[in-house]
Amino acid sequence: MALSQLIYTSYPAFPIRPGSLTGPLGEIMNAGRDHNSRNQISGILGVEVNRFFQILEGPTDKVKETFERIQYDKRHFGVQLKHFDELGERTFKDWSIGFAAPAYLPSGEPAQIDFDTVCVQTIIDRGRLLRRHGVIAEAALETPSASGF
């Protein structure tokens, strides 16, 4: 099974409150947790001051289908595809949501980065940082059955 990694950024269409998973952000988390687990998709949704970034990893066809659906979600706008490529091994083994807020980040880390100018590796590194320090919710992938799914 071919794996792919897809990274996109967008702007939330609602106010962000660091650490809160109520309202639209809670809806996104619940939908992502359920959908991604069923489809063997892992990654992280990073929540910056006024920006989302998401790293999706999984079977290529499922990642493409998920991104198609995400592009039409009215809870965000300005979706920009930053990266899509085959992946040898997952960087993110589960799916989580993390906030880039000073209360969660190590001292000296910025509360936001400029996604329009940074390289893909910087976005991946930011995802790793949020995975370690900013995660407030996570979900494990469902274990595939003996038939492969």
Model confidence pTM above 0.85: yes
Residue 128's contacts (CB-CB under 8 Å, 6 or more residues apart) are: 91
Residue 144 near residue 40, CB atoms below 8 Å: yes
Residue with tokens 């492969």: 148
- φ/ψ of 64, rounded to 5, equals -60, -45
Residue 80 domain-assigned (yes or no): yes
26: domain CATH number is: 3.30.70.100
Establish if 145 belongs to a structural domain: no
Q: Which domain range does residue 67 map to?
A: 3-139
Residue 144 in any domain: the answer is no
What distance in Å separates the CA atoms of residue 14 and residue 135, rounded to the nearest whole number?
A: 20
Please state the domain count of the chain: 1
Q: Residue 52 forms beta bridges with which residues?
A: 10, 47
Tens of pLDDT along the chain (149 residues) come to 799 999 999 999 988 876 667 788 888 888 888 888 899 999 999 988 889 999 999 999 999 999 999 999 999 999 999 999 999 999 999 888 888 888 888 999 998 999 999 999 999 999 999 998 887 766 666 544 333 32
- In this prediction, residue 58 carries a pLDDT of 96
